[in-house]
Structure 1
Amino acid sequence: MRTGGGAGAGTGGEDEQFRSFVRQQWGPLLRTAYLLTGDRGNAEDLVQSALEKTHRRWGRIRRQDAPEVYVRRVMVNTATSWWRRRRPVEVPLLASDTMPVADAYAQVEQRQQLVAALRQLPPRTQAILVLRYFEDLSEADTARVLGCSVGAVKSQASRGLARLRIQFEKTTPHPPARLRKEPA
């Protein structure tokens, strides 16, 4: 940093006091600047910019007996100014960003309706539907867990899904995709 002559330069003694101040405070100021900017290079630039502004007024600041406070205030104000100027530019949305998103409340409501409808089924049918479609077990694994035949799992799952479809047709205009009958 150049501390020689110029509009705001002080006497030789003031310049030496300023150099001493910079040597003593560089580490703590850099730490503060890093916390303000989050980047080492930007932090160094911030400290240098703040010290340059401070040097212009060094004669008045050092008499106030709190140059550290002044420099930190300059750093905060400068960092804020940089942040405002470097705000991100708006980026246009991609076509994929504008795709409609399912209503989260409707999904929760459907889930609650599904659980309520499931609880109205016989316990064995509930168990088969839960193991097959919620736990994603195969028909054979479901039969093994329940101690019944694969045919019993298939028939009870089919009857249980049919009853759930009827329940959802009564309560909602569009049943969840998992319960819709596939076209044949």
Structure 2
Amino acid sequence: MRWAAPDHFAEFVRSRHAALLRYAYLLSGDAHLAQDLVQDALERTGIAWRRIERQGDPEGYLRRIITNRYLNRVRSLRRERLVGDTPDVGVTGVEPSDDSLFRLLDCLPRQQRAVMVMRYYLDQSEAQIAETLGCSPGTVKSNASRALTRLRRELTSDAHLRPVEEGTR
């Protein structure tokens, strides 16, 4: 039996998909990972759409799934199986051109990066971020403070102009 998306869900996806992809891209810094995060969140949300829509904030619910899947990605990577042959390479999409911003964001730990993206890209309050991340507003404040300190240090040292080495995130 095949699942059919409710009309409201399909309409929601068409109208908000690009914004969700931008959010996931800012969190992860990787277009492919962003697409995977959004796809996973949409799959999880689509199944329970009627319940989620009744709660009143489906986009917030989706952003929380995207954020949690991104923050918990390390656990899922442990289950990956390495193979000897390289798989076929797909076509890459257009990525934002502001490389220095993404290099700066790459210097931050995941939690701090998530706080910065939610605060300055989504313009969320500390309380909203705390609710999304499942932590206290004080934790959000300390993560934001540490992230800003790190970003200022990176900007003054011109370290953001150097290429990011693999595995340093």
Question: For this structure pair, what is the TM-score category when the shorter chain's length is used for normalisation?
Answer: 0.3 to 0.5
Relative contact order: is structure 1 or structure 2 higher (C-alpha 8 Å, sep ≥ 6)? 2
Say which one has the larger Rg.
1
